[in-house]
Amino acid sequence: MSGYADPSVKVMPVTAEDEVVQFCQELIRIDTSNPGDHSGPGERVAAEYVAEKLAEVGVESQLFEPHPKRTSLVARIAGEDPSREALLLHGHLDVVPARAEDWTRDPFGGEIADGCVWGRGAVDMKDMDAMILAVVRDRLRSGRRPPRDVVLAFLADEEAGGSWGARWLVEERPELFEGVGEAVGEVGGFSLTVPGDRRMYLIETAEKGIAWMNLTARGTAGHGSMVHPDNAVTALAAAVGRLGGHEFPPQLTKTVRMFLERVCLAYGIEFDPADPEAALAKIGPLARMIGATLRHTLNPTRLDAGYKTNVIPQDASAQVDGRFLPGYEDEFMATVDELLGPDIKREFVYHDQALETDYEGALVAAMEAALTSEDPGALPVPYCLSGGTDAKHFARLGIRCFGFAPLRLPADLDFSGMFHGVDERVPVDGLRFGARVLDAFLDRA
């Protein structure tokens, strides 16, 4: 018989905290490895999964597939005050590939062990995807609309520059983001434990720019046994040496300066702008990433020349990964060209802007208040990401972008090492904390 509830079955209310862990596990089990071409499984299954979870609470999704299986999802939730600018919450569905033999656990198993959910994407960024889903469902089930319209975007291809995800949507379907003034995505909101058992929470307000360059030297081909002054390999190798060996001086952007000042405050040391490295030395493994935001960087990564030992080739080429600070791109490129000299040809393989927004305003206050509501001693702080995210694409639409995927982490976890790392995992407690903070943030956003 149907139609009557069985009184012996107690239906417990489902909360965001219950669902966030399950969703994170299930999303990890959907392999969305993105090798940078179309040889991976794509994001379609994950996008359909998200669409189904949203449909269950009455949210209609639009799926976009500019290339087979490279699927992104966009949905809009009406807020209480439709006259206000909308808020974009975005997360990418793809992950970088993982070699199972290197891992302690199955990278696509989504297992829970040692208090963590394990798997590729656990922190980058199926954790945040799960948080957004769980929180939105919980709010809609309990009739708690967000104060303003919220646009949700679950995106393909972030790990390869977003050509089939955020970049495509921004270029081809900008109307989807009409009225959006601010956005929240990765990489920020995670904690760093400081003295007094307090935690700094790093909110991303800036990103370095990307200048991947191809360098070519052209000389005269000839026999390897002869006197040969015009050797392309020699010219290229010298130029690569100059770039790779160049030491850029530290330059403090407003974001990095504020970050270091607050680190010093938390550690009770005096901030010395002439010696920013002293503050960095305090923050452990995270210094690897933050250290790269003190200055431009240039790292040669590929070399290609020649086909036989006794043949001098006509051309030699190399690739260099350059990253520049927000506000200093022209100066960076001028230095690159000076180091290269007139005879080396330079082209961009990939180029994208740097970002920086002020750490102020109502949305920042909402993030701070949400963190403090769940961790009363929280010390929120702006920081600059050394890499790039989909925020670079959304910023082109005039949207102010922040990285805020809240996670309270244990003091000893090397969090920055988890990104694209082996044994990527996220603490279960951290996920639950994140869902609570994201919910509290949406109350105030």
Sites of contact with Zn ion (CB under 5 A): 124-125, 186
Contact of 198 with 266, CB cutoff 8 Å: yes
Nearer to Zn ion, 42 or 146 (CB): 42
**Residue showing the smallest CB distance to Zn ion in the complex:** 124
Smallest distance, Zn ion to C-beta of residue 148, A: 26
Nearer to Zn ion, 122 or 290 (CB): 122
Nearer to Zn ion, 124 or 356 (CB): 124
Residue 326: burial class (beta carbons within 10 Å; 0-12, 13-18, 19+): buried
Nearer to Zn ion, 124 or 375 (CB): 124
Nearer to Zn ion, 117 or 344 (CB): 117
Smallest distance, Zn ion to C-beta of residue 124, A: 4
Smallest distance, Zn ion to C-beta of residue 231, A: 42
What tokens appear for 110 in the block? Answer: 């989504």
Which residues share a beta bridge with 338? none
Amino acid making up residue 305? A
Nearer to Zn ion, 155 or 260 (CB): 155
**How many CB atoms sit inside 10 A of residue 19's CB?**
20
Smallest distance, Zn ion to C-beta of residue 121, A: 9
Let me know the angle formed at the C-alpha of 293 by 291 and 296, rounded to the nearest 5 degrees: 105
C-alpha to C-alpha distances, 316 to 68, 351, 420, nearest whole angstrom: 37, 22, 31
What tokens appear for 305 in the block? Answer: 């020349």
Contact of 206 with 191, CB cutoff 8 Å: no
What's the rounded Cα separation, in Å, for the pair 226 and 209?
Answer: 44
Nearer to Zn ion, 219 or 421 (CB): 421
Residue with tokens 């956003």: 445
Smallest distance, Zn ion to C-beta of residue 41, A: 18
Nearest alpha-carbon partner for 131 in 120, 142, 139: 139
C-alpha to C-alpha distances, 343 to 3, 172, 315, nearest whole angstrom: 82, 39, 12
Smallest distance, Zn ion to C-beta of residue 405, A: 9
Smallest distance, Zn ion to C-beta of residue 159, A: 7
